[in-house]
Amino acid sequence: MTAMLAKTQVCPLHRRMYAKLALLAAGLALLAAAPMFLYPVFLMKLLCFGLFAAALNLVLGYGGMVAFGHATFFGGAAYVTAHAIKEWGFGAGSGLMIGVAFALVAGFLMGIIAIRRQGFYFAMTTLALSQMAYFAFFQAPFTNAEDGIQRVPRPNFLGFVPLADNLALYYFVVAVFLIGMAVIWRVIHSPFGASMTAIRENEMRTLSLGYRVNRYKLTVFVISAGLSGLAGSLKVLVFQIATLTDVAWQMSGEVILMTLLGGVGTFLGPVIGAALVLTIQNYMASTSVPVTIFIGAAFIICVMLFRKGIVGEIDAFMRREWAADSIRKKVELQ
């Protein structure tokens, strides 16, 4: 009887896998159908910032490093992509790639300096370096200073995907977003991800076990920078403009806020956080109250009531339920 009962039970691990697959299917269906209900450009902006926040989360949530200079990769890649497409005649794909390449190099240069310090000093080093990058972009002739690079064309992707059409561009952005998220998923759920978790949990201990900790930190920093660059380059295709706003320190702060609101160290949290902040910005902009008041209020509520962020709290609740369920099943079997 016990054996029969055991066979009919679905093991908690499988239940969790089914739940994740159902969530994935629902998410994909939602992404496919969303342009029918919402303005595609708003959705594309949301996906770009969602990817940007998820990329930062690799460093912030999984690496345990508060990086305050990711605007350099996001905005810098946007400038490079915009210039490459507009002035050098690059296609959409190659434009994205050169933007990512820039972000990878910039990430390596910033990372190799910043990772030598921890905590507050790491954050301030990234901020200082990103401010230096900001003034470099401000002075560089190709960025047109405060005017930015405007009217960037949207070339066809692979010669036949018409990115000039908003709906076609939306599905292109969805595809790039999914590729970016898949890379993040792989990095988190890999031997390297396990190493990063160990480093975040106890850096001294990993050092005593022979881990050259700075190499791991640098690797995750560079991957995060590359994905931030991908998000920035994608944004150029959507808005056809690259400006100083994207490389300013406020952008670095805003993406940290998105990540915190959604849930640091969760896979989907930063995307949800980005959606929340952009929705507040979008729908509250028309009111007489400054939008920063609403965002600030949302942040204070988050810090006071659910410090793990929206997805972090849901995740913790689900884990508690699964654990309780698992104990109940064991008791029943006994």
Q: How many CB atoms lie within 10 A of CB 246?
A: 24
HSE-CB for 2 with a 13 A CA cutoff? 6
Nearer to other proteins (CB atom), residue 94 or residue 219: 219
The correct pick among 2, 8, 208, 288 for binding other proteins (CB under 8 A) is 208
Length of the chain counted residue by residue = 334
| Shortest distance (Å) from residue 219 CB to other proteins | 7
| Shortest distance (Å) from residue 57 CB to other proteins | 15
* 215 forms part of the interface with other proteins (CB under 8 A): yes
| Shortest distance (Å) from residue 265 CB to other proteins | 10
* 241 forms part of the interface with other proteins (CB under 8 A): no
Nearer to other proteins (CB atom), residue 156 or residue 197: 197
| Shortest distance (Å) from residue 31 CB to other proteins | 24
* Measured distance CA(293)–CA(14) in Å, rounded: 44
The correct pick among 212, 319, 320, 328 for binding other proteins (CB under 8 A) is 212
* 117 forms part of the interface with other proteins (CB under 8 A): no
Q: Select from 15-23, 119-127, 166-174, 216-224 the region that touches other proteins (CB under 8 A).
A: 216-224
| Shortest distance (Å) from residue 226 CB to other proteins | 12
* 219 forms part of the interface with other proteins (CB under 8 A): yes
* 210 forms part of the interface with other proteins (CB under 8 A): yes
Structure tokens at 218: 């640098």
The correct pick among 216, 221, 239, 267 for binding other proteins (CB under 8 A) is 216
Nearer to other proteins (CB atom), residue 48 or residue 227: 227
Instruction: Residue 82: name the closest of 27, 146, 152 by CA.
Output: 152
* Measured distance CA(181)–CA(50) in Å, rounded: 9
Nearer to other proteins (CB atom), residue 58 or residue 80: 58
Instruction: Residue 248: name the closest of 321, 117, 155, 148 by CA.
Output: 148
* Helices 71-86 and 249-262, axial angle in degrees (round to 10): 120
The correct pick among 42, 108, 211, 294 for binding other proteins (CB under 8 A) is 211
Nearer to other proteins (CB atom), residue 141 or residue 191: 191
Residues in the interface with other proteins (CB under 8 A) total 27
3-state helix/strand/coil string of 145-183:
HHHCECCCCCCCECCCECCCCHHHHHHHHHHHHHHHHHH
| Shortest distance (Å) from residue 10 CB to other proteins | 19
- Three-state DSSP class for 242? strand
Contact 125, 113 (CB under 8 A): yes
Query: CA angle, 54 as apex, 309 and 186 as ends, to 5°?
Result: 115
How does DSSP classify residue 11? Answer: P
Applying the rule CB under 8 A, the residues between 142 and 201 that interact with other proteins are: 186-187, 189-195, 197-198, 201
Could you tell me what percentage of the chain is helix, strand and coil, using 3-state DSSP and rounding each to the nearest 5? Answer: 80, 0, 20
Nearer to other proteins (CB atom), residue 17 or residue 140: 17
Nearer to other proteins (CB atom), residue 52 or residue 216: 216
Number of H helices, E strands in the chain: 14, 0
* 326 forms part of the interface with other proteins (CB under 8 A): no
Q: Which residues bind other proteins (CB under 8 A)?
A: 186-187, 189-195, 197-198, 201-202, 204-213, 215-216, 219, 223
